[in-house]
Structure 1
C-alpha cells in the first residue's frame, strides 16, 4: 500500500517522474491532464481512482507541452489522458486482458496496454464511433471514448502504481485500429465463455 504521508524528497522525485512522462506524452500529441492522487481524498474509503483536477478539463485537452510542464511544476498529480480525441481505451479484467493480449501478439500487431493495481487492463486504440454490441452488452467491458479519461503510468493508486504491460513505443507510437482490437476482444470473450462451459461440464460429470 502506498504511504500517503509522503516525505518531501519522495514526493518531489515522484512529481518529477510524473512530469517527465506527461511532457513526453504531450510531445507525442496525447491529451494529458493532471489528476487527483489518493492523498488528496477525504479518506481511504473515498478513493475510487483518479479524476481530473480541473473542472474545465475537457477544454484543456491538447495543451502544449510547455503548459503541461507547468501543471506538474509543484504537485505530484496523477497522469491522465482524455479519450475520444486522439485515442480510445477498452477496459477489461485481468483474465480477459491476458487472453486478448495473447491473441494480439499472435497477429504481430500489439496494442499499448495499461494495467492498474486494482486489476484492470486498458487496451489503447484509435478513436471509434461505438463499441460492438457483443462487447457493449457483455458486462465485462468498459469503453472509454469521448468525455472520458484513463490513468497512465506512473499514476499512484492506494495499493501500487499504474504500469505498462505493453508500452506505446513497442509499435513506434502507432495506435492499432479500434475495430482490430475490438475483434480480438470478442474472440477473447468467446474463448472465456467456452472455458467456462468446459469447466461446468467437467464439474457436472464429476458430481
Structure 2
C-alpha cells in the first residue's frame, strides 16, 4: 500500500508518469499545479489530500508546458488542476456519482469524470458562477470553482491512486456545459432522495 511503502522506486515511477500527464494537460491548456504527496505527511503522520506546493500557485496558472515539466523534475508531486478559469468540478460521493454517470451516458454526451480512492467522484465542466441550490445545500456535494483545485490521475493517495472514470479524450477534450451537468447531478440527487424515501416506507410497512 502507498501509506506503508513510499519507497524511492515508488517515487521514481510516479514522478515520471505524473510529469508526463502534467505536460500533456498543460499542452491542452489546463492550469496544472504540483501538489503535495503522501510521503510529505506532517509530524503526526497524517495526510488529508494534496494541496499546492507553491504559496503563489494562483500566479503560476497558465504556465508554459516547459515550465510545468521543470516542476516535476525532482519530486513526485501530485497532479492538481486549478478550477475557476478553464474548468470547474463538482465533487460528489461515489453512489451519487455512479447514478449521475448513468444519466449522462443516456444523453450521449459524457463528462470527464475523476474518482479518488476515498470514494469521491469529480465531474468536470465549463466554468460557472454558481450551482443549483439543491446541490449547494447538500452536505455531500462540493463545488470547485474560483480559488480551488482538484487532483487528477495518477495522483497517489495513502490508500490508492486517483483515476479517470471517463477520460477527457472520450469527448475530444471538450468540456460539457456546466448547466447540463448540474442538471443531471440534480436529477441524480432527486432520484437518490426518492429511493431513500421508498426504502423508509418499505421498512415502516414491514414493521407494521
- Taking structure 1 as the reference length, the TM-score comes to 0.97
1:87 and 2:87 matched? yes
* Cα deviation code 1:140-194 (max 9, x no counterpart): 2100000000000000100000000000000000000000000000000010000
- Separation of aligned partners in 1, 2:133 and 2:3: 41
**Maintained 8 Å contact 1:38/1:44:** no
1:183 — aligned with what?
A: 183
* Cα deviation code 1:6-52 (max 9, x no counterpart): 33333212100000000000000000000000101125752111000
- Separation of aligned partners in 1, 2:45 and 2:99: 32
State how many pairs are aligned: 207
- Separation of aligned partners in 2, 1:61 and 1:5: 32
- Separation of aligned partners in 2, 1:49 and 1:156: 9
- Separation of aligned partners in 2, 1:88 and 1:32: 13
**Maintained 8 Å contact 2:86/2:127:** yes
1:25 — aligned with what?
A: 25
1:137 — aligned with what?
A: 137
Over aligned residue pairs, what C-alpha RMSD do you find? 1.1
2:158 — aligned with what?
A: 158
1:196 — aligned with what?
A: 196
Stretches of structure 2 that go unaligned for 5 or more consecutive residues are none
1:167 — aligned with what?
A: 167
2:15 — aligned with what?
A: 15
2:104 — aligned with what?
A: 104
- Runs of 4+ deviating beyond 6 Å: none
**Maintained 8 Å contact 1:89/1:122:** yes
- Separation of aligned partners in 2, 1:13 and 1:94: 28
- Separation of aligned partners in 2, 1:9 and 1:47: 20
1:34 and 2:26 matched? no
**Maintained 8 Å contact 1:114/1:152:** yes
Shift of 1:139: 1.6
- Taking structure 2 as the reference length, the TM-score comes to 0.97
**Maintained 8 Å contact 1:36/1:78:** yes
